[in-house]
Amino acid sequence: MVQVPSSVVAASGLVGGYGVARWTRKRQLGGVVLAVAGAAAAQQWRERAGGKAAGALSVAYVAAFAGSHPLAKKVGAWPAVFGAAGAVALASWAVADRRG
């Protein structure tokens, strides 16, 4: 069975979480998407790169989510979300996916 790279899971969680929250008008549903994808990515990070790397990438995931909010005021919501997702995907690939 082919496993989806953790970089894709993490980026999808950020983009999908925002999309669900926006289109359903229920922030809690977006939060569920964000949390489930983050937990799945963290599990992959731990398996592929170890606990310290998983912790650092999890902090980056949450920081990207939080940082996209003030960034959205300057560049717009979707560009901020895509920028945050891209940054997390790049970090995830560099730390965990590149080796596999």
Q: What's the chain's length in residues?
A: 100
Residue the block writes with tokens 């979707």:
78
In the DSSP assignment, the letter for residue 93 is I
Tell me the mean pLDDT in the region 89-93: 98
The model's confidence at residue 8, banded by pLDDT at 50, 70 and 90, is very high
pTM value is 0.93
Structure tokens at 36: 């489930």
Mean pLDDT over the full length of the chain: 96
Question: Is residue 99 scored above 90 in pLDDT?
Answer: no
